[in-house]
């Protein structure tokens, strides 16, 4: 997993997690104060993120961000889009900073199935549509008073 070295004000190295493949994070130490939320509405969900990171998890790159450093962390009820900085030399077991970019309700396991329209074509629906169209046509015609 490639990392980028960053220097903070205390001159300690922090490593920004980057990659384009899912990555298994080991259980990690992280303080609540190390989490920055993009919006206040995300703050009530920080304990779930902390619990997930402390237990270890698989992080997946968020392709739509197109930056290689935003990852999806799946908790029990939320999916977090985060950037993670680890302490240098900690082998990813000490997270120095976590920035929450987005926090969405968990949708894992939900499948959207779109059937072939020819197989399930409902003629009754078409008849109702035609009746509605005829009523609309009648209403739109000019009336003589």
pLDDT cut 90: percent of the chain above it: 54
Q: Measured between alpha carbons, how far is 28 from 93 in angstroms, rounded to an integer?
A: 4
Write out pLDDT tens, residues 94-130.
Answer: 999 999 999 999 877 777 777 765 555 555 555 555 5
Cβ-contact 30, 46 below 8 angstroms? no
**Overall pTM surpassing 0.75 (yes/no):** no
Q: Is 137 exposed, middle or buried (0-12, 13-18, 19+ CB in 10 A)?
A: exposed
Mean pLDDT, residues 63-77: 92
Residue 16 DSSP SS3 = strand
State the residue for tokens 């009746």.
Answer: 131
Residue 120: what pLDDT? 52
Strand partners, 23: 59
Mean pLDDT of 49-63: 95
Residue 78: half-sphere exposure toward Cβ, Cα within 13 Å: 21
Question: What residue spans define the domains of the chain?
Answer: 3-105
Please check the confidence at residue 131 and state whether its pLDDT lies above 90: no
Can you give the pLDDT at residue 106?
85
User: What length does the chain have?
Assistant: 145
């Amino acid at each position: 997993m490639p990392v980028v070295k960053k220097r903070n004000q205390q001159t300690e190295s922090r490593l920004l997690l980057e990659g384009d493949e899912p990555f298994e994070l080991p259980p990690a130490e992280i303080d609540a104060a190390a989490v920055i939320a993009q919006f206040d509405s995300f703050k009530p969900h920080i304990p779930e993120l902390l619990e997930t990171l402390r237990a270890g998890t698989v992080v997946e790159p968020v392709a739509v961000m197109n930056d290689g450093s935003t990852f999806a962390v799946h908790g029990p009820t939320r999916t977090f889009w985060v950037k993670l900085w680890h302490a240098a030399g900690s082998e990813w077991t000490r997270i120095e900073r976590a920035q929450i970019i987005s926090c969405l309700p968990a949708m894992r396991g939900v499948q959207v199935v779109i059937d072939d329209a020819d197989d399930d074509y409902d003629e009754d629906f078409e008849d109702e549509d035609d009746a509605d169209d005829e009523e609309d046509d009648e209403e739109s015609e000019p009336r003589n008073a």
